[in-house]
Each structure stands twice: as structure tokens, then as C-alpha cells.
Structure 1
Amino acid sequence: MDHLIEKTLSRKTIFEGKIIDLHVDDVELPNGKMSKREIIKHPGAVAIIAITDEGKILMVRQYRKAMERVMVEIPAGKLEKGEEPIVTARRELEEETGYICETLKPLISFYTSPGFADELVHLYVAEKLSKKENAAPLDEDEFVDLLEVSLEEALGLLEEKQIYDAKTAYAVQYLQLQQVLGK
């Protein structure tokens, strides 16, 4: 057993919500002392780097209540119970952008805030896009503007702090690295 593991002694559920649950765990630390850990349980999410045939990146502008501001992000969404991430990625791409893709490749999965949350984001690259007639609608509480931006424009949005979330910043920097490497 790894000497860094914290043993959970008890768990108290504080809140069960539509998207997240909040637990407080009593833990025994590696040195034998006791502590508390506030943990957010999340079903996971996907994010999609969608590239048009013209080399534009599909992004959405939407209001984020937690930040109290409009932000520019790559399309993304929460996993539904029992849904495979690739299925979620195809659904979210269509709902948020009106596009479908021929090619959808997994790039990487990462935890957003492992100090207090278990949210795992699966990042995909979507290519060979086509606009879908009668695309699936957005969720009824979701409002977005679709943007098609060049890499240079995306870097500008990053600099202007219109792109301010980790998944989108990662996506833009990934694309910049691919350009530098000639891929």
C-alpha cells in the first residue's frame, strides 16, 4: 500500500444536486492524525476541439454564472449516467454547434481540480465536420453563440481573458504546439 494514502473513516453527504454531490469525509492521514476533506463528486465531462475544413476552431460564447461573466469555450458537456464519453462528445458537438463530425479521436483525459473534485474531462479532436440540418437542440437552460475562429484569433481571446477556462486554454495551446511541430 502506498504510504501517501488517506484512509476514509466516515462520509457525510451535505448536498445531492442535479450535477454535483458534496461530501465531507473524515480521514486518517498517513501520519495517523485525523482531518476532514470536502469532496465534490461529478459524473465527468467531455470537451471537443472541433476543426473545420478551413482550419477554424469551433467555440461557443456563454454566460457562466459561477464566474458572473460571458466566456469563450470549446464545446463541452456533462456525461449522462451510463453514457460513454465518445457518445457524449458527439451529442454535445451537435447540440452546441449544429455540426457533426466524421472523425472523432480521443486526445487526453484530465482531472479539473483534484484537490477537491473528481471531475474527469475527456478531450476529443473532431474533424471532417459538416453542418447538420435539424441538429439536436441545446438544453432548455443553455444559451450559446457559435464562433469560428482561427488559431491566431483564439490566442488573442486567450490573451484578452475571454478564454479563461483550463480545457479551452489547453486546447488552444495544444493546437499552437501542433502548428509549431508542423502537424
Structure 2
Amino acid sequence: MTDSNSSTPREVQIVKRENCFKGFYQLDRLHLRHEQFAGGLGKEISRELFVRHDAVCALPYDPIRDEVVLIEQFRIGPVGKVENPWLIEVVAGLIDKQEVPEEVARREAEEEAGLVFTDLWPVTAYFPSPGGSNEFVYLYVGRCDSRGVGGLHGLEEEGEDIRVKVWPFAEALQALRDGKIINGSAIIALQWLALNRDEIRGKWT
């Protein structure tokens, strides 16, 4: 029997790459062979790849008041799959070529919620849908002052219509438990904050 745990495959051979669609997003089809766990290259396969900019998501957190700031906006993906396609999320944006993730986090906090981050705590970085997309997400918790925060925000020229609300952390966590928060980055960030909240508050207060 072959030891499938002896090493991790590394080799990928791209036989052909073709563009199927190019708009704001891009769809490519790749024909490839990749190394197998049992050794050697497998047969040629084809996979469609949704090509996206990398993204930054940040959960605004006020450690003094133990409050988070969450936004609510319409999303096309959930239409027809859930009753309410207005999702509760963290602030987020795409990375332009000349930007670093921290700059995007600060810019989006201002545009989407009228917030200023005084500190950023890196949480993790991950692929949200690696089976079909190359998008890579940088996730942060951002230190903010939640006093007076709220209302409607977003850039009209980008079609944004965003409602901002301050949540006591316990209420946000309960909404997560109740299935009212179904956005991946918000779920990860709130769960991470639940595990690391004492440390965060100790360093940020």
C-alpha cells in the first residue's frame, strides 16, 4: 500500500489556459495535470476559474464599549436562495494593484461606515471559495470609536446602499448563533473575536 501521508504534492502543469469571459470579473478555463498523492501526474483535467481581485475585510471593534460595527447591504448571490438577500457583514473592499491590505481596510471603513481605524489586528488570510475562484481575503479586526456611528453610507457612483449599525458584542454573537449572520468573513471575524476578546481588550484599552 502506498503511504499517502509521506509527502504533499507540489507539481502543477498548465497545458492550456483560455479566457471565456472578461468584464469586471473574469472567467478562465484551465487545462492541467497535477501531481497525485500516490505519486506521478494525473490525467489532464479542465477547470473553470473565476478570476477576482484579492479582498480585504475588517470587523470594526470598540474595545472600550465592547461593541462591533456591522453593515447591511443587498447582495446578488443570495437572491432566490434565501428569503432576505440583504446581508449583515463587516466592511470590505477589493485591492487595487498599488494598494496594501491595510490601506484598503482603512479606506473601506471610512467609505462604508464613516469610521476611522486607529489600529488593525491581522486575524487571518484565506481563500473563500478555492474550488472555483482565485480570490484571497485578508481579514482584520479594526479598533474604532463606535460613539455616534450609524446611518446610511456607501458610494453612490458604485451603487452602494449601506446601513450601518452598532451592536453590543454579545448581541452580535447571539445573532451569529441564531443564523442571522450568514456572511463568511463576518462569521470568521466574530468567532475569532469571541476567542481572543480578552487579549484584544487588554492591549487596546
TM over 0.5: yes
Aligned partner letter, 1:36 = S
CA distance 1:178–1:3, change in 2 (3 Å):
closer
Quick one: structure 1 residues 131 and 98, their matched pair in 2 at CA, closer, same or farther if it must change by over 3 Å? Answer: farther
2:174 to 136, 140, 156: 156
**Contact preservation (8 Å) 1:99, 1:131:** no
How far apart, in 2, do the equivalents of 1:109 and 1:99 lie? Answer: 23
Would you say the 8 A contact 1:61–1:70 is kept in 2? yes
Cα distance in structure 2, aligned partners of 1:174 and 1:22: 33
Distance change (3 Å), C-alpha of 1:6 and 1:166:
same
Match of 2:51 among 37, 41, 47: 41
SS at match of 1:47: strand
Structure 1 CA distance, aligned partners of 2:146 and 2:166?
Answer: 13
Deviation at 1:41, TM superposition (A): 1.4
The equivalent of 2:73 in structure 1 is 62
3-state SS, counterpart of residue 53 of structure 2: coil
Q: Note the residue ranges of structure 1 that are not aligned, 5 or more in a row.
A: none
1:5 aligns with 2:11: yes
Contact kept, 8 Å, 1:26 with 1:36, in 2: the verdict is: yes
Tell me if the contact between 1:151 and 1:175 (Cα under 8 Å) persists in the aligned partners: no
Distance change (3 Å), C-alpha of 1:105 and 1:7: same
Match for residue 21 of structure 1? 26
Calculate the TM-score normalised by the size of structure 2: 0.78
The structure with the greater share of residues assigned to strand is 1
Separation of aligned partners in 1, 2:124 and 2:97? 21
TM-score, L = length of structure 1: 0.87
The percentage of aligned residue pairs carrying the same residue is: 27
| 1:158–1:43 CA distance, 2 compared to 1 (3 A) | same
Tell me how far apart the structure 2 counterparts of residues 79 and 111 of structure 1 sit (CA, whole Å): 15
Q: Which residue of 1 aligns with 2:160?
A: 142
Partner residue, 1:175: 193
Residue 116 of structure 1 and its aligned partner are, at CA, apart by: 1.4
Q: State the alpha-carbon separation in 2 of the partners of residues 38 and 180 from structure 1.
A: 43
TM-superposed deviation, 1:104: 1.9
Q: Which runs of 5+ in 2 are unaligned?
A: 1-7, 36-40, 80-84
Task: Output one character per residue of 1:58-81: Cα deviation in whole Å (capped at 9) or x when no partner.
Answer: 100111111121110111111123
SS in 2 for 1:7: strand
Q: Offset at 1:131?
A: 7.2
